[in-house]
A and B are shown apart, each in its own frame.
Chain A
C-alpha cells in the first residue's frame, strides 16, 4: 500500500506492506537509524519519535496510520551542525553510557517539556487544577516510558533539568 508523510521536514512517499510499523519505515525504508528498536512492544521507549509534535512509540504504530503526518526523529532535532539544546545537555551532563536509549530519551524529553508547558498533568501532579511545577519527581514520572539499561537516570534528570531551568 501507499503512504505519504513528512519526515524531518522532507516529504516522503512510501510503498509498503500493511504490517510495516512507523519504526521499521523510518529505519529500514528511510535509513534513519537514529530511532532505535529496543523491545518492539512499547515497553522501553527507545523508538520514541514526535508525530505532529507529540511523542509516541513508533514501534506500536503502523506507518499506514500516519498518512499526511509530520514526523520528527532524532536526526531532525539539530539545526545543521548546531545541536538541539536537549542534545547538547545530554552531552554536557554525560547523560548516557551505551547510548542506545539516548535518541528516544532526547525526543521524549523535548516533547515532555512541551506537555508541561501545555498544562498536561502527570501522576506526580499533586494539584490537578493549578500550575504544574516541574519538580524532579515530575520529570522522573514523565520520563518513565523511557528505560535506560545503563541506569544513567541521575544524569538524564540533570540534563533535562538544565534545559527546563530551576523549579518555580
Chain B
C-alpha cells in the first residue's frame, strides 16, 4: 500500500468536514473492497476517513411501511433482519449470494453500493484500463471478455458492476439518501446511482466529491413474488456471470452492465399483457455482446423467464 494518513471522525458532520479539507481522501467503511484495491495499488488515497463507527447502522421502519437501512449496517445485519427476510426476501437472497460470510460480516450497505468492478483488466496493473488509468485503453475489448457487459457498454469500457445487493435494491425501487460535501441532503434511485461508461468510465457514480451515502430507503414491498437468481462458475463465493432480481413483474439484471440493469422493455411488455418469453426478448433485443460474452443473452433470458414464471405466480424467495 502507498502511505496514507488516517482519521476516525466522531460524528457525521466531522466526516463531511474531513472530506472537504482533503478532496483526494476516501471514505473507509468495512474496507473489504477498498483495502484490497489499495494493496494492489489500484487505489492510493493519501488520506482515509474511517466512517465505520458513525451512527448509521440502524434499520428503521418508515412511516409508509418501508425500511430505512443505515449506510453502515453490515451486509450480514441486513440479510439477517427479520423484516428484510419477510418483506424483502429478494434482498436477503441477493446479499447472501455475494462474497463469503467473513466479507459480509464486515462489508457495509454503503460500501457495497460503492464497490468497484471485478474486471480482470482493472485489477491487472500491467494492462491498459480506462477506469484505472483514463486514456490508456480497454484491454477487455480485445481480450478475455467472457464476463464483460452486454448492455450500456462503450468502446472505452465493457466492465460490469459486481454488486448483487444493488440488483435487488434496483428491482425494489430503493433510493439512497446522501449528505453532500456542502451538508445538503439529497436522494436518488439506486438504479440511477451508477453511470454507464461512455467516454469517462473512471467516473463511476453520480455522487460528487466528498458526498456520503447515509441510508438506503426501500418503499413498501409490492404485492407478488420476489426472487433473486444468480448463475456463476462455481457454487459459492463467486461473482455473477448473470443474475436476476424479479419483484412481481419488475426485473433487474446483474452481471450484464456497469450498473444494475432494469429491463424496462420487458417490464412494459409484461404490463401490456405480452407472454413472458417475448417480454424478456424485448429487452434482450437491445443487447450488444462483444464476442465471448454473447452466451449471456441466452443465459439471462432463460433465467429471467424462469424467475418471472415464479414471481408472477406469487412465489417468494
User: Please, which residues of chain A bring their CB within 8 A of the CB of B39?
Assistant: 40-41
C-beta contact mask, A119-151 vs B, less than 8 Å → 1, else 0?
111110100110000000000111011100000
Task: Decide if B102 touches A55 in the complex (CB within 8 Å).
Answer: yes
Q: From residue B45, how far is it (CB to closest CB) to chain A in Å? A: 11
Task: Decide if A56 touches B85 in the complex (CB within 8 Å).
Answer: no
Q: From residue A113, how far is it (CB to closest CB) to chain B in Å? A: 12
User: Please, which residues of chain B bring their CB within 8 A of the CB of A115?
Assistant: 76, 101
Complex: A10 Cα to B120 Cα, angstroms: 42
Task: Decide if A61 touches B106 in the complex (CB within 8 Å).
Answer: yes
* Nearest opposing residue in chain B for A67, CB measure: B8
Task: Decide if B32 touches A125 in the complex (CB within 8 Å).
Answer: no
Size of the A side of the interface (Cβ < 8 Å), in residues, is 39
Q: From residue A37, how far is it (CB to closest CB) to chain B in Å? A: 12
Does B36 make an interface contact (CB < 8 A)? yes
Task: Decide if A55 touches B105 in the complex (CB within 8 Å).
Answer: yes
- A residues 85-139 with Cβ under 8 Å of B? 108, 111-112, 115, 118-123, 125, 128-129
User: Please, which residues of chain A bring their CB within 8 A of the CB of B89?
Assistant: 128
Tally the A-B contacts, defined by beta carbons under 8 Å: 105
Does B97 make an interface contact (CB < 8 A)? yes
Does B317 make an interface contact (CB < 8 A)? yes
Q: From residue B22, how far is it (CB to closest CB) to chain A in Å? A: 14
Complex: A144 Cα to B238 Cα, angstroms: 10
Task: Decide if A141 touches B35 in the complex (CB within 8 Å).
Answer: no
Query: Given contacts A18-B4, A18-B6, are A122 and B101 in contact (CB under 8 A)?
Result: yes
Task: Decide if A42 touches B93 in the complex (CB within 8 Å).
Answer: no
- B residues 82-124 with Cβ under 8 Å of A? 82, 85-86, 89, 92-93, 96-97, 99-103, 105-106
User: Please, which residues of chain A bring their CB within 8 A of the CB of B219?
Assistant: none
* Nearest opposing residue in chain A for B103, CB measure: A42
Q: From residue A49, how far is it (CB to closest CB) to chain B in Å? A: 9
- A residues 37-61 with Cβ under 8 Å of B? 40-42, 45, 48, 54-57, 60-61
C-beta contact mask, B52-81 vs A, less than 8 Å → 1, else 0?
100000000000000000000000100110
User: Please, which residues of chain A bring their CB within 8 A of the CB of B76?
Assistant: 54, 115, 120
Does B237 make an interface contact (CB < 8 A)? yes
* Nearest opposing residue in chain A for B100, CB measure: A145
User: Please, which residues of chain B bring their CB within 8 A of the CB of A14?
Assistant: none
Task: Decide if B6 touches A64 in the complex (CB within 8 Å).
Answer: yes
Which one of B85, B86, B100, B317 lies within 8 Å of A144 (CB-CB)? Answer: B100
Task: Decide if A60 touches B106 in the complex (CB within 8 Å).
Answer: yes
User: Please, which residues of chain B bring their CB within 8 A of the CB of A32?
Assistant: none
Task: Decide if A56 touches B92 in the complex (CB within 8 Å).
Answer: no
Task: Decide if A123 touches B105 in the complex (CB within 8 Å).
Answer: no
Per CB-CB distance, the 7 closest pairs between chain A and chain B, nearest first, are A145-B100, A144-B236, A120-B80, A144-B237, A128-B85, A18-B6, A19-B1
